[in-house]
Amino acid sequence: MEFQVIWFILWGLLWAVYFALDGFDFGAGILYPFIGKDEISKKAIIHAIGPVWNGNEVWLITAGGATFAAFPTTYAYMFSYLYTPLLIILFALILRGVAIEFRPKALTEGERKLWDVGIFIGSVVPAFLFGVAFGNIFIGLPFDDKGYYGALFSLINPYGIVVGLLFLFTFIVHGGIWVSLRSSNELSANSSKMAIRFWYLALIFAVVFLILTAFYTNLYNNFIKLPHWFLVPATAVFALILTGYYLKKNKNLRAFVSSTIFILALIFSGVIGLYPNLIPSSIDAKYSLTIFNSSSSPYTLKIMTIVVILFVPVVIFYQAWAYKTFSYKITKEKLSEEEY
């Protein structure tokens, strides 16, 4: 297997893992003002994501770094063509991080409300815009050898909005399940109820996404050529259905695993459909950025592969330890012992 193909798979995997992990942080932040009925429940929600959110964002840095190192031309064009939405996402992520860290240190009710708004905005904006960005990549961006012809508002098209809302509702479900797992009593019950409500919306938009994909994109071409790859989107559909089933049965751990599998399979369905493209051109396919015409040298990719083999297991081990350490149920008594 060529190193370009290996790194294309790793590129997709890094994005999938990032969305599966930081997705529940986004979801918890979006639900925060609706299920955080009092100061104790708000502290519990922050505590549910506080010890892990910054570790989850390591995968975003890794995905961006992998794009830069493995496919530098794609990185350059992506951050040029999608500069404004990516900058908005960056500012929102910074706002969320600052709000999560400073909210527990607020001295007045006004300060706490300000940081509460920051947590919500810093969660809902990137959740939606990441979906819009990937939706437009699936369609293809309007560029050729002379440059890019799109604008910020051209990204807000029906398909981009549908993918954005699919991401948004999926992350809300994911976050609701996570908070329900970590919390107890009324907060846990309310989180689970909200997850069930938004699961219906996620299911509706998943169906709309599958239908519109046939009309707006060429993602299905690879699946038609190699039908066995339909197993991946089929897994996504099955996992989403199982998520709702387990939520209704109050089996939240199984629901969270199913939701995670859905996110992973959803992202890989898009990645498989894109291959070998990274950014398709909607003007002419010959201008598309592929894994072959935008990659680093084979030697560079070889060295990067060795680095990944050596260091990624360390990151995985550390994160597994962190999740194990903070896997306890959050109670009022536990909150009084902790910073959050």
- pLDDT, tens only, 3-34: 999 999 999 999 999 999 999 999 999 999 99
Residue 325's pLDDT is 86
User: Which candidate, 143, 126, 138, 17, places its Cα nearest to that of 73?
Assistant: 143
123 has a pLDDT exceeding 90: yes
pLDDT (tens digit, 9 = 90+) per residue, 283-330?
A: 999 999 999 999 999 999 999 999 889 988 988 898 888 888 888 888
Residue 324's pLDDT is 87
75 has a pLDDT exceeding 60: yes
Residue 153's pLDDT is 84
Written in H, E and C, the secondary structure of 142-211 is CEECCEECCCHHHHCCHHHHHHHHHHHHHHHHHHHHHHHHHCCHHHHHHHHHHHHHHHHHHHHHHHHHHH
250 has a pLDDT exceeding 60: yes
The mean per-residue pLDDT over the stretch 87-108 comes to 92
Residue 1's pLDDT is 63
334 has a pLDDT exceeding 80: no
Residue 336's pLDDT is 58
The mean per-residue pLDDT over the stretch 62-89 comes to 92
User: Which candidate, 232, 272, 287, 308, places its Cα nearest to that of 63?
Assistant: 308
Side chain identity at 81, as an amino acid letter? Y
Global pTM value: 0.94
The answer to which of 50-54, 158-162, 230-234, 266-270 has the lowest mean pLDDT is 50-54
> CA 77 to CA 219: how far, in whole Å?
21
> CA 190 to CA 71: how far, in whole Å?
44
Q: Say what percent of the chain tops pLDDT 90.
A: 74
Distance of CA 8 to the CA centre of its chain: 18
Residue 88's pLDDT is 95
Side chain identity at 145, as an amino acid letter? D
Asked, as a colleague might, if the bond just before 280 is cis with ω within 30 of 0, I would say no
pLDDT (tens digit, 9 = 90+) per residue, 98-119?
A: 999 999 888 888 999 999 999 9
Confidence label for 340 from pLDDT (cuts 50, 70 and 90): very low
The mean per-residue pLDDT over the stretch 140-148 comes to 91
Residue 214's pLDDT is 96
335 has a pLDDT exceeding 80: no
The mean per-residue pLDDT over the stretch 123-130 comes to 97
Q: What is the mean pLDDT of the chain?
A: 92
221 has a pLDDT exceeding 70: yes
Confidence label for 181 from pLDDT (cuts 50, 70 and 90): very high
